[in-house]
A = this chain, B = another copy of it.
Amino acid sequence: MSRLDLSSIPVRTGTDYPDPFAEAVNGRSRQALGDAGGITQFGVNLTELQPGAASSQRHWHTHEDEFVMVVSGELTLITDEGETLMRAGDCAAFPAGRPNGHHLVNRGWGTALFLAVGSRIKEDKATYPDIDLLFDGSTGSYTHRDGTPYPKRDPSAAPAANLPIEEETLEPRVYRADHGEQDGAERGPTERGPTERGPVIPGEAR
């Protein structure tokens, strides 16, 4: 069937960011909807961010276009231009090669969901303007800015406290027609000043 059964699509947590950059995406889980639906020409992920979690380290791509739409909850978009609140239905686009690092952070008290679409271009490179990190898509490896490689994450190693490793499960999510208020969870304030921030996100120095 062309319609996707979201409850049957694996939920992936964890990251291959090298330490100490992995912790920023603690509380992030993703479902690869495009892969599950058999499409290959672009990727589509449905990503859930728990309070405090970031979508990624702030980054921009040399070759890949990206597009996001918030599906439920509230997220803060952070770019070179500053911060802006995004609610369900809000969209943002990140054209390839535009050196404007971006990510989404959940500073609210409830979970948030967003859809992300990205092209898939082997020679893509990602730059992380806040931290000493580069990613080379052609080798699939992370390096320091001077080109020195980071050690690969070892998924068999015991994870440090709160540090995620790649993991797949089918259980945790509950889907309803409107994801906005699920579980009756309290919603955080719509906008919070710098003194009332949620958990500190490593690497989010700006």
Partner-binding segment picked from A76-84, A125-133, A136-144, A160-168: A76-84
> Closest CB-CB distance, A198 to chain B, in whole Å?
20
- Contact yes or no, B33 A3, CB < 8 A: no
In the assembled complex, A180 has its CB within 8 A of some CB on chain B: yes
Known: A65-B41, A178-B180. A4 touches B34 (CB 8 A): no
- Contact between A2 and B119 (Cβ–Cβ < 8 Å)? no
- Inter-subunit contact A92/B39 (CB<8 Å): no
Question: Can you name 10 A-B pairs with beta carbons within 8 Å?
Answer: A1-B81, A2-B102, A4-B91, A39-B67, A41-B64, A69-B115, A72-B89, A88-B178, A89-B176, A178-B180
Give residues in A with beta carbon < 8 Å to B.
Answer: 1-4, 6, 33-34, 36-42, 44, 46, 64-67, 69, 71-72, 77, 79, 81, 84, 86-96, 98, 100, 102, 115, 117, 119, 121, 175-180
